[in-house]
Amino acid sequence: MSERFAAASERKVISRTSAEELGTLAHIVVDVKRRQIASLVVGKGRKALLIAWEQVSGFGPDAIMIADDTALQEPRDDGEQAAADGKLELIGKRALSDSGNDLGNVTDVVFDPDTGAIQSILVDDREYPAVSLLGAGSFAVIVREPAE
* Amino acid letter for position 45: G
Q: What is the C-alpha to C-alpha distance for residues 126 and 69, in angstroms, rounded to an integer?
A: 38
User: What is the value of pTM for the model shown?
Assistant: 0.91
The CA-atom distances, in angstroms, between 112 and each of 11, 31, 60, 101 are: 16, 14, 11, 29
CA diameter of the chain: 53
Give the pairing of strands 12-15 and 21-31. Answer: antiparallel
Instruction: List, in order of start, the domains of the chain with CATH numbers.
Output: 3-84 (2.30.30.240), 94-143 (2.30.30.240)
Q: What is the C-alpha to C-alpha distance for residues 81 and 95, in angstroms, rounded to an integer?
A: 23
Which has the closest alpha carbon to 58: 130, 113, 124, 137?
113
SS3 105: strand
- pLDDT by 10s per residue, the chain, length 148: 899 999 999 999 999 999 999 999 999 999 999 999 999 999 887 789 999 999 999 999 999 999 888 899 999 999 888 888 888 899 999 999 999 999 999 999 999 999 999 999 999 989 999 999 999 988 899 999 876 6
